Structure 1
Amino acid sequence: MKLYIAEKPSLGRAIASALPKPHLKLDGCIKVGNGDVVTWCIGHILEQVEPEAYDPAFKKWQLEHLPISPSDWKLTPKSNTRKQFTVVKKLIKQADTIVHCGDPDREGQLLVDEVINHVGIKPSVKKTLQRCLISDLNTSAVKQSLSMLKPNSEFAPLSISALARSRADWLYGINMTRAYTLQGQKVGFQGVVSVGRVQTPILGLVVRRDLDIEQFTPVNFYDVLAYVQTDSKTVFSAKWKPSEACLPYCDSEGRVLNKALAENVVNRINQQPAIVKKVERKPKKQAAPLPYNLSSLQIDAAKRFGMSAKSVLDTCQSLYENHKLITYPRSDNRYLPMAHFHQALNIVDAISHSANLKRECSGANCSLKSKAWNDAKVGAHHAIIPTAMRRKGVLSKAEQHVYELVARQYLMQFYPSWQYIDGVIELDISGGVFITKARHTTTKGWKELLVSSILQKESNDTLPTVEVGQVLHCDKGELVEKQTQPPSPFTDATLLAAMTGISRYVTNPDIKKILKETDGLGTEATRANIIELLFKRQFLARQGKQIRSTLIGRGLITSLPESMTLPDMTAHWESMLDKISLKEQNYFDFMAPLQQSLLDLVGYARCNLPVGLKGLKQKNSNKFKASSKSVKKKYTKAKK
């Protein structure tokens, strides 16, 4: 008997639909016509055991027990999915051949692998264990994936990398959460001080941004505009560019801080000739943006519709599992395999019947091949795109919004480049340099698909027709007084953008390079949940669309060693985890230094009380006493 093990019931049903009929639905599995069986996990049906499973003394939280570091790791079935685990276990024991059908990512690889390894299989079955990568739940796509099975052994490094991450997050979360919760009690904090390898640096981003805003002191700066008239009486404005001699009176961004200097320039240029020194008109073009991965989709949905990262992910899952209208949503990739190109006509047709995009579909040229189609840049999964399935049921408002975003981004691949002309005129007025710029669109191309509100924000100016050496006339100068502005508070969109582009917030060049080459803070699959957990733990709060740190959140960040609140450690981890997945480093080289760092961090916690949390209290903190079962549930969620 061949056994297919899916990650979720929805994927299991999709696999069964592509296998011979008739189907017999049994408890926790489906038997297909040729005698093979499809079963499924329900996400992670195994979890790390509680610390007290290693030593009963660990049931009571005490500093002298830390760090807790198992030498022989143990997993146990989750209580709410134990029944399904029993079904899967029995079928694994009966199977002659097994096909691993976990989601096509690092977590999906580990999720099924750990069940197979926990149950144990015969060497002969292990040798023939196969892997199926499915990113589209429609039957034709699933059939194609089932015809392209690979040896599961090829994905062992990916699984080991995920295992190392999972165990490291457990070690870090369990030990740091216990240490700071116990120390927090000494300063009167009531609640659980949840600390995580990813969540804490994210909180640090928000806290530092909020403090920058509160401590910001505005500074006046001054621009000078010259209003210049051409021979045809056309008037345009040009902005003064301070010379090197003026730099002592400017800030680091070249803004003039001395009002008298700016006023002097205004007085000098009134009713003076303006000599054209340079004229440039450069034709340029820009290809369509790539299709979405999850983070870029979450960012755009937050900007357009004010959706949280979690709501976008949940909506995507519904579109993928329930409606089968989009491909696998937890993707970190923005490219498409060449094999998908021939499906374009069918997908565009499906979009025209599933969204209010008939005009956009009719303008798509499916013979165009954008840079998105690139086999060399496609990993275990590809970009999120619509499927060839036409909408059958009714979509919720959120589903309509997200589907339309995905569909528009896909249709852009079949529109020509946006073409425009960037123009620059440089003038000499009384010895000063003045510059005017304009951008003029010549071909909208893929920008035809942008919504009107976005198009309206884009200028489409043209420069006056002038020639080098021509003498124009400056009617007057104008002093424009402005103020420096504090950074804006984070929103869902900007916080996600900061997490994916975390290298911008790092000064160490080596760490910055690592973060540029990795996914940033968190993964596509975890970012939404991590942000939501920070709200649940009362470290963050919403003020309209803004995300702000609470007193508890600030108290935690100001109490921790700086290294725990910065993304540097995560960058180092991700670099090593990527090397494990590429067979460039082994599991033990990653875990050994972690053990030592835990000793150092626990030692720091013992010697430094979290005074920033003094006297603070979490709501319902009476539920979170260190001796209660609820606290164990709370801190086991601190793995990330």
Structure 2
Amino acid sequence: MKLYIAEKPSLGRAIADALPKPHKKQKGFIEVGNGDVVSWCIGHILEQVEPDAYDEKYKKWDMQHLPIIPAIWQLKPKPQTRSQLTVLRKLVKQCDVIVHAGDPDREGQLLVDEVIDHLKVSKTKKAKIERLLISDLNLAAVKRALNTLKPNKEFIPLSISALARSRADWLYGINLTRAFTIQGQKSGYQGVLSVGRVQTPILGLVVARDNEIDNFVSKPFYQVLANIKTQDGETFKAKWQPSAACQPYMDDENRVLVKALAENVVARINNKPAVVSDIKTEQKKQFAPLPYNLSALQIDAAKAFSMNAKLVLDICQGLYEKHKLITYPRSDSRFLPKEQLMQAPQIIGMLTQSTLPFSEHAKNADKSVVSKAWNDKKVTAHHAIIPTEKSANNINLNSFEKNIYQLIVRQYLAQFFPAFTYEQTKLSLDISGGVFKVNCKNPLQQGWKVLFKKSSSETFSNRQITSNEQEEQRLPALNKGDILHCQKGELVEKNTQPPQNFTDATLLQAMTGIARYVTDTEIKKILKDTDGLGTEATRAGIIELLFKRGFLQRQGKQIKATLVGKSLIDALPAMATSPDMTAQWEATLNAICEQKSNYQSFMSPLVSVIESMVSQASNLSFSELPKGKPVNGFKKKRFNRKKKLAKTV
């Protein structure tokens, strides 16, 4: 007998539908026609034990007990899913071969692997475990996946990475939350000061941004524009480029701060010849943006529809599991396997028949175009989020579902449109010894950009994602050495602007592109743009958690820190609040997946850091925290009783 273990019941039913009939539904599993059995977990059916399971003394929060470092890690069945674990225990003993059918990511890999380990499956049976990777719950896609089973041992690095992450979150959250809460209580604060390996640096980013805005002092700066006229009467404007001699009068961003200097330039160029000192024109291409991973989709949905990350994730889960309209949504990849090109004609054909607005674009898609999205080397356990072959015509989608589905469709269809091509001209002028420049783009072919233009036929939102590019002025035909005329100089006075408060979109962008906020130059070199804080599956939950704990608040679209959140960050050591350390750990976790690092190289330095930070905690003062019980927050007895904060991230 072959036993398929899915991550959740919906996936189990999809697998069973693709296996021989007749089916016999039992409690917790389905028998199929050839004698095989499909069963499932219900998400994580095992969880980390509480500290007092290792030693009764840990029930009391005492600084002398810290840090708590388990010698042998323990898991326990979740009470609400214990019966399903009993079902799996019986089936595992009866089967000859196990097929691991967890979700196609590191968490899905660990979720089923840890059940297999907990049930003490023999080494012989373990060696034969097969891996089923499903990213599309439609029948045809599941059947294709069943024909391409792989050895489960090939995916063990994913499981090890997820295990390291899980244990790191437990160690960091348990020890530092206890240490800092104890210190906070000494100052009169009666709430829990939860600290997490990921959540605290994110809170730190928001606090730092708030402080930057609060302390910002606007300053005027000055630009000079030259109004140019050709011999044929055509006009355009060129912008002054201050020379090195002007540096003493400029800020770090090369903005002129002294008005008299700019006024002098204006006076010098009025009614003067403007000589073309250099002109370069070249044709350029801009290829379509890649299909979405979850974070990129959440960012665009926040910009277009003001939807928060958790809402987008929930909608995607419904589109995937309930409606079967999209592939696996918790993906961190923006690339597709080349074999997916075989399904492209069917998907595009289905989209042309859609009653939704994108059908016209689907009709114009060129199936012969193969974008850079199809790259087997950049696809790991899962691929980008794309539409499936199933039509949405007979499905009653709500407005949220329509919006997200159409974003995914549009991004997929863009892969079958030619590049946006344009002519870029860079012009330099010499006016009275000063350098003035113009950069112009002249579109030649819109290509994929036609999909992103706001159209009257698009009904899914009035708030479209629009390009930030300003409309470029058109330049006349010019040659090097041409003498033009500067009619007058124009002084433009502006004021420096404070940075913007974080929003759902920009906070997600900060989490996914954390290298921009890392201060350590060596760590910055290690990190790539794709490295980030948290995972595709956890980022939305982490942000929501910070709101639930009363550390963040919303003011319209803006996200700001509360007094408690700010006070916590101000009191903590910089190591805990900056993204440097956590970002490096995230890079190591990714390296474990790629077999470029190992479990011990991640855990050993982490334990050393926790020991050091617990030692430092006894010297911290939380005097700025409000006294008494928090308005929003968790009570300590709840923290002790439930595992709400044990696995802090």
Please report the TM-score for the alignment, with normalisation by the length of structure 2.
0.95
Between 74-83 and 319-328, the greater mean CA deviation after superposition: 74-83
Provide the secondary structure at the position in 1 that maps to 2:343: helix
Aligned to 1:480: 492
Asked whether the equivalents of residues 518 and 574 of structure 1 are also in contact (C-alpha less than 8 Å), the reply is no
Is residue 35 from structure 1 mapped to residue 35 from structure 2 by the alignment? yes
Deviations 1:324-381 (A, max 9, x none): 1111111111111111102111111222344321111111001111111111111111
**Identity between Structure 1 and Structure 2 (%):** 59
* 1:63-119 CA-partner distances (Å, limit 9, x unpaired): 111111111111111122222222222212222110000011111110000001001
2:213 counterpart residue number: 213
Decide whether the 8 Å contact of 2:554 with 2:560 is kept in 1: yes
Alignment check: 8 A CA contact 1:624 1:631 kept: no
| CA drift at 1:32 | 0.8
* CA deviation string 1:452-474 (max 9, x = no partner): 25269652532122222222221
**Equivalent residue runs for 1:247-258 within 5 Å:** 247-258=247-258
Gaps of 5+ in 1: none
What is aligned with 1:434? 436
CA distance in 1: counterparts of 2:192 and 2:152, whole angstroms? 41
- Does the Cα contact within 8 Å between 1:559 and 1:610 map onto a contact in 2? yes
When structure 1 is superposed on structure 2, of 195-204 and 181-190 the one drifting more is 181-190
Output aligned runs, 1:174-185, within 5 Å: 174-185=174-185
**Counterparts of residues 32-111 of structure 1 (less than 5 Å):** 32-111=32-111
Indicate if the aligned counterparts of 2:513 and 2:529 stay in contact, CA closer than 8 A. no
Cα distance in 1 for residues equivalent to 2:59 and 2:222: 64
2:159 equivalent in structure 1: 159
What aligned pairs does 1:127-526 form with structure 2 within 5 A after superposition?
127-354=127-354, 355-391=356-392, 392-452=394-454, 454=466, 458-516=470-528, 519-526=531-538
**Offset at residue 59 of structure 1 (A):** 1.2
> Measured at CA, do residues 628 and 344 of structure 1 come closer, stay the same or move farther in structure 2, by a change above 3 Å?
closer
Aligned residue number for residue 623 of structure 2 = 611
Displacement of 1:630 in angstroms is 6.0
Give deviations 1:182-234, integer Å, cap 9, x for gaps: 11111111211110000000111110011001101111110011111111222
Instruction: Give the equivalent residue in structure 2 for 1:570.
Output: 582
2:549–2:632 contact (8 Å) kept in structure 1: no
Contact 2:320–2:327 under 8 Å retained in 1: yes
The offset of 1:518, in angstroms, is 5.4
What secondary structure sits across from 1:297 in the alignment? helix
Cα offsets for 1:615-640 (capped at 9, x unmatched): 2642265x613x446664332242x1
**Cα deviation, residue 517, structure 1:** 6.4
Counterpart Cα distance in 2 of 1:630 and 1:60: 9
Helix, strand or coil at the partner of 2:76: strand
Task: Provide closer, same or farther for how the CA distance between residues 456 and 497 of structure 1 changes in structure 2, counting only shifts above 3 A.
Answer: closer
In 2, Cα distance between equivalents of 1:405 and 1:258: 47
Q: Which residue of structure 2 lines up, in the alignment, with residue 557 of structure 1? A: 569
Structure 2 segments unaligned to the other structure (5+ residues): 455-463
Q: Of 558, 579, 583, which aligns to 1:546?
A: 558
How many pairs does the alignment contain?
637
Post-superposition CA distance 1:292-315 (Å, at most 9, x none): 111111111111111111111111
Are the equivalent residues in 2 in contact too, given 1:539–1:552 (CA < 8 A)? yes
* In 1: Cα distance, 2:468 partner to 2:160 partner: 50
Counterpart CA distance in 2 for 1:350 and 1:194 is 49
Which residue number in structure 1 is paired with residue 546 of structure 2?
A: 534
User: In 2 relative to 1, CA 567–416 (structure 1 residues): closer, same or farther, beyond 3 Å?
Assistant: same
* One-letter amino acid of the counterpart of residue 141, structure 1: A
- Structure 1 range deviating more: 55-64 or 255-264: 55-64
In terms of mean alpha carbon deviation, does 278-287 or 312-321 score higher?
278-287
What root-mean-square deviation, in Å, do the aligned CA atoms of Structure 1 and Structure 2 show?
1.6
The answer to whether the Cα contact below 8 Å between 2:97 and 2:129 also exists between their aligned partners in 1 is yes
Cα distance change on mapping 1:629 and 1:193 into 2, 3 Å? closer
- The answer (yes or no) to whether the contact 1:518–1:575 under 8 Å persists in 2 is no
The code of the aligned residue for 2:190 comes to Q
User: How far apart in 1 are the matches of 2:426 and 2:590?
Assistant: 45
Residue in structure 2 matching 1:597, options 594, 600, 609: 609
Tell me the secondary structure at the aligned position of residue 42 of structure 1.
coil
**Alpha-carbon separation, structure 2, partners of 1:30 and 1:393:** 27
Q: Give the 3-state SS of the residue equivalent to 1:393 in structure 2.
A: coil
Task: Give the corresponding residue for 2:459.
Answer: none
Alpha-carbon distance change, 278 to 196 in structure 1, aligned in 2, over 3 angstroms: same
* Matched AA of 2:181: T
Per mean C-alpha deviation after superposition, the further-off stretch among 13-22 and 576-585 is 576-585
1:610 CA displacement: 2.4
**TM-fit CA distance, 1:594:** 2.5
If each structure's helix is expressed as a fraction of its own residues, which one has the higher value?
Answer: 1
SS at match of 2:490: strand
Partner secondary structure for residue 486 of structure 2: strand
Deviations along 1:463-506, whole A, 9 cap, x unmatched?
12222222222111111111111111111111111111110111
Q: State the Cα distance separating 1:609 from its structure 2 match.
A: 2.6
Give the TM-score, by structure 1 length. Answer: 0.97
Which letter maps to 2:645?
Y
* Contact 1:437–1:463 (CA under 8 A) maintained in structure 2: no
Quick check: 2:514–2:532 contact (8 Å CA) kept in 1? Answer: yes
Aligned-partner Cα distance in 1 for 2:409–2:326: 9
Task: Classify 1:204/1:631 alpha carbon distance in 2 versus 1 (closer, same or farther; 3 Å).
Answer: farther
Which residue type is aligned with residue 324 of structure 1? Answer: K
Residues 334 and 372 in structure 1, CA contact (< 8 A), matched pair in contact too: yes
Displacement of 1:584: 3.9
